[in-house]
Amino acid sequence: MKWIIKNISFTVPNGKKVAIVGPTGAGKSTISRLLFKFYEPKSGGIYINHLNINKISQQSLREMIGVVPQDTVLFNDSIHYNIAYGNTKASEEQVISAAKNADIHDFISSLPDGYQTIVGERGLKLSGGEKQRVAIARTILKNPKIFFFDEATSALDTSTEKEIQKNLEKVSKNKTTLIIAHRLSTAANADQIIVLDKGEIIEQGTHEELLAQKGKYFEMWGKQKPTIQV
């Protein structure tokens, strides 16, 4: 039997931000699938407020966690519907407030049909950054106990990535947040960074502490850090 991750133990404290980083194949995606009960661990457990998630229904678990994924799925419906999907009982004012907090309200207002603009495969094609802002607005509206950013900026260009990072940091301030990231810039401001490699935790600490160790994180940061050209 091949183990994808092994001997892993970590805690995401209430109100804190923890990031999991590592090279491709390190086991980052497996952790997200375990969190959502797509897989069950062969041993050990995952707990939210000391309660094993096996004791929590899948629906209740998904209500607790708000996800901004790598590639946001849009329904063939209005932008309003796509945002309101985060909380179908939300009022018009709440939808607009969420859009404002995700910095997409002005863009929506500039469209001829505004919030009733049809998006998706048969409607207006949104850019990667616009889709992520819809996902952020959707998550704000959901008002979850836990924020989960799953490679939320990895499909974006560098300029858009920086803008979305600011949005993510704003909406998750003082919120319990788990970040899965390949791009280290997404994780640099986390309270704790966990470095995975070949299914195991090899380093952990703050961004500054990990750079000072001059280990795997330091090596990855050196490769990913943008160079400045004069």
Backbone angles phi, psi at 211, to 5 degrees: -65, -40
Helix orientation angle between 128-142 and 92-101, rounded to the nearest 10 degrees: 130
pLDDT of residue 229: 37
Helix orientation angle between 128-142 and 158-171, rounded to the nearest 10 degrees: 10
pLDDT of residue 122: 83
Q: Is residue 8 within 8 Å of 41, Cβ to Cβ?
A: no
pLDDT of residue 1: 56
Question: Residue 13, Cα to own-chain centre: how many angstroms?
Answer: 17
pLDDT of residue 115: 97
Residue 141, Ramachandran bin (φ over 0: left; ψ between -120 and 50: alpha; else beta) = alpha
pLDDT of residue 26: 83
Count CB neighbours of 50 within 10 A: 5
Average pLDDT, 10 consecutive residues per value, the chain (230 residues): 80 95 85 86 88 90 91 93 95 95 95 94 89 94 93 84 87 92 89 93 95 94 63
pTM: 0.88
